[in-house]
């Protein structure tokens, strides 16, 4: 690709590599931070794209501590990674809402 000088393809491949690198780092850092804040939602699922991560988290009803941990973790990741064009957006629901995880999200097993 470099020899042919196809600038579009060169930039496309660079973007793919950049997305893979940063998305992997932000997901890893996100879960490390959740562990630090002792935040363990009942359910958690992710939807990944080239520049953002959507988080679906289900917590116990009125668990303000857990909700705060999830919100603060999101804020920390966005503070660290938004300068590179990557961010997290969370949807936090309570178990009493009885909402299913949207079908386009991938469940993350919680141990």
Handedness of CA 48, 70, 44, 98 (dihedral sign): negative
Q: Which residues of the chain have pLDDT under 70?
A: 1-2
pLDDT confidence of residue 19: 84
pLDDT confidence of residue 51: 85
With residue 92 as reference, give the H or E element that holds it: strand 87-94
pLDDT tens per residue, range 39-70: 889 999 999 988 899 999 999 999 999 999 99
**In a 3-state reduction of DSSP, which class is residue 55?**
strand
**Whether 73 contacts 40, CB under 8 Å:** no
Which pTM does this prediction carry? 0.85
The CATH classification of domain 7-107, taken from the options 2.20.25, 3.30.70, 1.10.10, 3.40.50 = 3.30.70
Q: List the domain boundaries for the chain.
A: 7-107
């Amino acid at each position: 690709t470099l020899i042919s000088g196809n600038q579009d393809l060169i930039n496309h491949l660079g973007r793919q590599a950049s997305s893979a690198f940063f998305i992997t780092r932000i997901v890893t850092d996100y879960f490390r931070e959740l562990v630090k804040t002792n935040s363990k939602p009942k359910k958690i699922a992710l939807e990944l794209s080239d520049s953002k991560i959507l988080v679906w988290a289900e917590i116990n009803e009125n668990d303000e501590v857990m909700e705060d941990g999830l919100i603060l973790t999101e804020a920390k990741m966005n503070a660290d990674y938004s300068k590179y064009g990557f961010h997290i957006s969370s949807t936090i629901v309570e178990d009493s809402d009885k909402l299913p995880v949207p079908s386009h999200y991938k469940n993350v097993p919680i141990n």
